[in-house]
Structure 1
Amino acid sequence: MSALPSDESLWQKLSQDLIDDYDEELELEWEDERGLPAAERTPGQLPRKRYFTELFRLQRELVKLQDWVVAHRHKMVILFEGRDAAGKGGVIKRITQRLNPRVVRTVALPAPNDRESTQWYFQRYVTHLPACGEIVLFDRSWYNRAGVERVMGFCTEDEVEEFFRTVPEFERMLVRSGIQVVKYWFSISDEEQHRRFLARIHDPLKQWKLSPMDLESRRRWEDYTKAKEEMFERTHIAEAPWWVVQAVDKKRARLNCIHHLLSLVPYQEVPREPIELPARERHEDYFRVPVPPEMIVPEVY
């Protein structure tokens, strides 16, 4: 039996594990900039060290928020809307990255199937609403009707009008039931969307993000602008206001969105009971069965 590591070597290993964990974020950042020459990257970006320092600090606060939501049986719905390539998925990754998926979950629904298209419009979203002690993030939401469905002609103007009549009361009902509703719109410029689409076209790891619908949305930029403006005018209500995130700079957008989200909840750090790791039981008759060689994954790396 090998000896247990000394305290010093154990702490060295724990420290390395922490660094490796943070490397996940570095990998995501590398993926964001993959294939882009330096001249095409957003000028005036935050220094990398400051960005990571702030991101990790905010993620620690998100863990405190998560614990508070569970302890106080709070319910939250957060909607992320914006044009294609606006950075919604990026900020959702950073919010959920270090949180418990049983508490904080993301919903990204596909186009409705034949049965769902005959239901009450909000019905398929209702099934994903949070119970007590849960936060649900919608990567696009019921506002599809005011945006992509309307611009692309997937619904009639009568259906759009009914949506605008219904959605304020629907959201007021959610709030009255105890659900906090937060709505974010990620705003990017025409030029920045063009640049991000080009990055996706020329990066094999990102081409899957581009669909024919995305390309058509690029052509209909002005139609989307008009639809967004009417959506704000008719659905910006006191109980569930819209918040606009300036998202041309991805890093600043992530930090600003998380900081703002934290400011909307009166959370406090929840005291935790001290944790003591129990000693492993050892028995003389215990025998570990060897794993057959053919079951071992080849160590190529």
Structure 2
Amino acid sequence: MTSLLKSREALLGAGILALIAVIALRFPGFVAPANLKNVFNDTSPLIILALGQMVVILTRCIDLSVAANLALCGMVAAMADGAGVPMPLILALVVVLGALLGAVNGILVWKMEIPPIVVTLGTMTIFRGIIFLISDGKWINAHQMSPAFKAFPRAEILGLPVLSWIALLIIALFALLIRRTPLGRSFFAVGGNPHAAVYTGISTGRTQFMAFVLSGTLAGLTGYLWVARYAVAYVDIAGGFELDVVAACVIGGISIGGGLGSVGGAVLGAIFLGVIKNALPVVGISPFWQLAISGSAILLAVALNARQGRAKGRLILKHAYAPETAQ
């Protein structure tokens, strides 16, 4: 299964390179290093959110509230900046708030045993409603934001914006989390075989709760980064972005059935969508085709996952069947 997963990532990577090559035939400037850097920077929010969504999906759940979480935390960050709150406190505020919003999802799934899709559809609407209440439906624009607030994600270090460096750091941290920590192994165990996980002392509910908290934390951080980079905050910010996040995971080989996936797959899935999003206007194709292309990619990825993912990865205890007795 490990070799199969690696081949899936290699196939997706080759597909991304082929897509870039085809685009370069029509618009050679697309492959310029400066443009590719911009493509990665534009895709960084999707990469960050896809990693959070990945751990949720690994546990057989889904988080459809990530974009609303992002929007609420982004609005709170912009309002805090307008109130004169220092930048370090704003960063701490959005991370804690995002984690708390994720914890609300996790508690409802764990303690109330409500299906995750129902919980996150509900909280998605609630979070958007809270944004409207605290902002009175008004926008916060660039001239209402401090220079320091807007400058942080755009500042460059060694030729890359801070936003890109944050995405790279989170990729590295999640690779370490998944491969080297008991919590990372628990995500696979719960998704691969929740009944077997219980026998090894792993709490399915608690593990799912932690997955939602991680997803919410990343959504909160991304909320500030998004608002500061685009210098605007409003109720419908990142509307529909949760579908791109789920699409990135599915395209990257994260099994909707849980227990199978990788950090590399989630990142490559996000980059695939990022290349498409940036390439369509360049080659003269309407951006509205992005929805059709993304939807087609999801269907193909789900079909491929269904064929290849029947044998779950990282089962910690296989089902045992008593042999039949001949009578």
The TM-score normalised by the length of structure 1 is: 0.23
Larger Cα-atom Rg:
1
| Bigger helix share | 2
| Bigger strand share | 1
The TM-score normalised by the length of structure 2 is: 0.22
